[in-house]
Amino acid sequence: MKIAIVGAGISGLATAHLLQQRHEITVFEAGATAGGHANTVRVDTEDATHHVDTGFIVFNDRNYPNFERLLSRLGVASQPSDMSFGVSDGGDFEYNGSSPNGLFAKRAHLVTPWFHRMMADLVRFNGHAKTLLAQGGEGPSLGHWLDAGGYSRAFVERLIVPQASAVWSADPRQMWTFPARFLVEFFANHGMLGFAKRPQWKTVVGGSRTYVDAITRPFAARMRLDTPVTAIERDGDGVSITPRGGQAERFDEVVLATHSDQALRMLGAEATDREHEILGAIPYQPNEAVLHTDRALLPRRRRAWASWNYHLLPEPTGLTTVTYHMNRLQALSADREFCVTLNRAEAIDPAKVLRTIQYAHPVFTPEGAVAQKRHHEISGRNRTHFAGAYWHWGFHEDGVASAVKVAERFGARL
């Protein structure tokens, strides 16, 4: 069968990997390189070369079974990662939750009542979350659920909302309408509703580009980079794909392994009412990532440094603000601190900026959670299949899982 795969992020690459041996595939990618969020930047210093990830960084041994299976098939190695989370306002308030030394990085917090209340609320939150999961149903929004639980303002604004905002690269204010059940299910699956038996986090040895190079090698000649698709037309006999500046090409089927909003734009007037309804319920939000070496973006006290460092800002910007400490996450042995900061370019010393990259992440809402369950209503119909991490939690494993789901319709398995 002749199949067009549009998008060369993890979903498109995994789909191509599964289908390329039994079908005639062509992969269209708008960007100059394949990989999407698997975007590793090579940095040459005076003494060494480092490969620093800027988008997809970590996975674990509990929640990424399909991705781990894929790495095994490709013969790509992984290594343990340090996964810790902290919050800082850039001055007087900061903590790193991975140890007592980091938690009380500011020693005055040892005798600060509201700080101890914040920690007590975390224990209470973990218990209430398990109760919410046992109840079933869609449940309330996170804002309503936290209000009903009587949690302290410090816990909400300085712990749980920053953590959720960082995980989903989402506007902190958006967390109030975020489905509470969606969040606690994720926390439960990742061992975050307790302090023991947490999963082992890992990174790809040499950066995520290592797996991208390995997965694309067999079908590199069938990839069209720098080739945006401008139109898709479907009829009873097949699908016409029109690349920018080119003529329409015919295929038997098409896999749209792009973001939901990108898929709708390419379908244009061809999109059905149901495709508009379902895909339109899962929008995307842009986030700017800056790779740099400005340690001023890390907490003031070194014992508060974490792998993920959330920035508490005096005025909300409508975007998440977090700095990933890549030396910890990728076990980089370097003479400087490599950081990736989201949405705070103005605070970074321009002389220490290495690369600026634009990403986009799905925005999850109650309507989106309902739309995810309707995937079967549009995928596999009208010669069109939809793959993407946005069909579940929004992470790399979800991209692979969506590819597996599509590939199984063609008789291919991981």
H or E stretch covering 401: helix 396-408
Q: What is the pLDDT of residues 232-291, one digit of tens each?
A: 999 999 999 999 999 999 999 999 999 999 999 999 999 999 999 999 999 999 999 999
Q: What is the pLDDT of residues 326-359, one digit of tens each?
A: 999 999 999 999 999 999 999 999 999 999 999 9
pLDDT tens-digit series, residues 291-335: 999 999 999 999 999 999 999 998 878 889 999 999 999 999 999
* pLDDT value of residue 195: 63
How many CB atoms within 10 Å of residue 279?
A: 23
Q: What confidence score (pLDDT) does residue 365 get?
A: 80
CA distance 13 to 220: 11
Contact status, residue 16 vs residue 255, Cβ threshold 8 Å: no
Least confident of 20-24, 35-39, 131-135, 176-180: 176-180
Query: Per residue in 133-177, pLDDT tens?
Result: 888 777 788 889 999 999 999 999 999 989 988 888 888 887 788
Question: What's the confidence (pLDDT) of residue 315?
Answer: 84
Instruction: Give residue-wise pLDDT tens across range 7-34.
Output: 999 999 999 999 999 999 999 999 999 9
pLDDT confidence bin for 196, thresholds 50/70/90: low
Mean per-residue pLDDT over the chain, rounded: 94
pLDDT at 201 over 80: yes
Backbone phi and psi for residue 98, each to the nearest 5 degrees, phi listed first: -85, -15
What CA–CA distance (Å, rounded) separates 311 from 165?
11
Which residues contact residue 252 at a Cβ distance below 8 angstroms, ignoring those fewer than 6 apart?
Answer: 1, 2, 3, 238, 239, 383
Q: For position 231, what pLDDT does the model report?
A: 96
Measured in Å, how far apart are the chain's first and last C-alpha atoms? 19
Name every residue whose Cβ is closer than 8 Å to that of residue 113 and which is 6 or more positions away in sequence: none
Instruction: State how far Cα 48 lies from the chain centre.
Output: 29
